[in-house]
Each structure stands twice: as C-alpha cells, then as structure tokens.
C-alpha cells in the first residue's frame, strides 16, 4: 500500500500548512485512503446511530473533508447533515456527493458556526489529532451541544500517543459534564497498520 500524502498528514503542524496540505490532497484523497482501507467513518456512524433516535434531526460533520464521513452518516440513517471544513477544495469534493444540506468553509481559529443546542449530534471523524484539529476543538464541540446531545469522535494511534487529546475528552467525563457511552479500539487505516479509538459521549 502507498502512503503518499499520508506521510505529510502526520507531520504538518502549522494551521495554514494543514489547509494547504488538504487543498493539495483533495483530488487524490479518497483514492489514497480507500487504498489503505479507511474504516473509521463507518465505525463512527454505526456507533452514533446506536444512541440517536431521531435520525431526521440535523447532524454537524466537523472536518467533513471530501464527504466520506457524511456518506457514512447517511448510510447509517442520518437524514440531515451539515458539514464544515478548513479546505475549500475538500468541500468542493464533498459538494459533488449531494448528501449535505449545507457546507461551510471555516478558518482554523474560527468559532464553531453553530448556536448552542443547534445540533443534537456532532461528529468529528478522523479530524482531531496531530496535523489536524487541536484538542481544544473538543471543548468547542461540547459547548455547541445542548444537554443530552451526542458527540462521536475518533482518535487514531498518532493522537492517542499524545495524551493531550484523550485527556481533554476525559476532562468532560471525569467532572460529570459528559457521560462516556461507547469506546472501542479498531481499524483506522489497516493498510498502514493504524488503529483508532471511537468514542460516543453524551453531554450531561
């Protein structure tokens, strides 16, 4: 299996560099990660679907990329999906899938474009970690959820190796502000022997 842009994806740190990387990668992104068996979108969508009863309620796909995560959510039964991403080129690819109600370009330093409680479920699939969304994104997402809202996310092996990401999640759980409903380790990109944890948490 080739790793192409993947080797750069885990070494780029500066926000503008991350955006440029994903703009450049947009045309070949799906082929490359599919070649490596990208399993996380399906795992996250199925996990979230276990807990969300109203599949017609809007879901926010944070860091939606080319729309593979949105497609997985759609296949899991979610009917209304909005997406946000820092890469305009990635959003162009997502738009071609015709599965999103809205798609919005954001800057890395922007507040999440969602009023508190606007979404009962938010997904951050394959997006939080090194060379992607920072750990503080977990706070932003949790603040955007209303009480009883659900958050599904994944942390791959690179993110798990840096304890800041899971520690940020545990801050919400340990103080009782959120409840851990689901955690499972499994394949992320098996073609390069990478796993990820998938979590579903509910805001108290």
Confidence of residue 165 (pLDDT cuts 50, 70, 90): very high
Answer yes or no: is pLDDT of 4 > 60.
no
Q: Side by side, which strands form the sheet with 178-189? A: 102-105, 81-85, 59-62, 119-124, 145-156, 194-203, 178-189
Which pLDDT score, from 0 to 100, does residue 3 have? Answer: 45
Answer yes or no: is pLDDT of 175 > 70.
yes
CATH T-level topology, domain 6-203: Rossmann fold (3.40.50)
Q: Which among 114, 75, 110, 70 is positioned nearest to 91, based on CA atoms?
A: 70
Mean pLDDT estimate for the chain: 90
Which tokens belong to 18? 């991350």
Confidence of residue 90 (pLDDT cuts 50, 70, 90): very high
Which pLDDT score, from 0 to 100, does residue 84 have? Answer: 97
């Amino acid at each position: 299996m080739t790793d192409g842009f993947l080797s750069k994806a885990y070494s780029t740190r500066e926000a503008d560099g991350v955006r440029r990387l994903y703009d450049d990668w947009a045309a070949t992104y799906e082929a490359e990660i599919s070649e490596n068996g990208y399993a996380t979108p399906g795992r996250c969508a199925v996990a979230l679907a276990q807990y969300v009863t109203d599949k017609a309620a809007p879901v926010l796909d944070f860091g939606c990329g080319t729309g593979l995560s949105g497609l997985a959510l759609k296949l899991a039964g979610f009917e209304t999906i909005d997406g946000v991403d820092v890469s305009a080129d990635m959003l162009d690819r997502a738009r071609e899938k015709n599965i999103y109600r809205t798609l919005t370009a954001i800057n890395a330093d922007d507040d999440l474009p969602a009023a508190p409680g606007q979404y009962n479920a938010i997904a951050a699939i394959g997006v939080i970690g090194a060379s992607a969304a920072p750990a503080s994104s977990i706070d932003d997402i949790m603040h955007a959820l209303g009480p009883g809202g659900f958050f599904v996310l994944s942390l791959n092996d690179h993110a798990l190796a840096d304890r800041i990401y899971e520690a940020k999640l545990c801050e919400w759980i340990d103080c009782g502000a959120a409840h851990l409903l689901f955690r499972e380790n499994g394949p992320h990109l098996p073609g390069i022997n990478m796993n990820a944890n998938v979590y579903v948490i509910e805001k108290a």
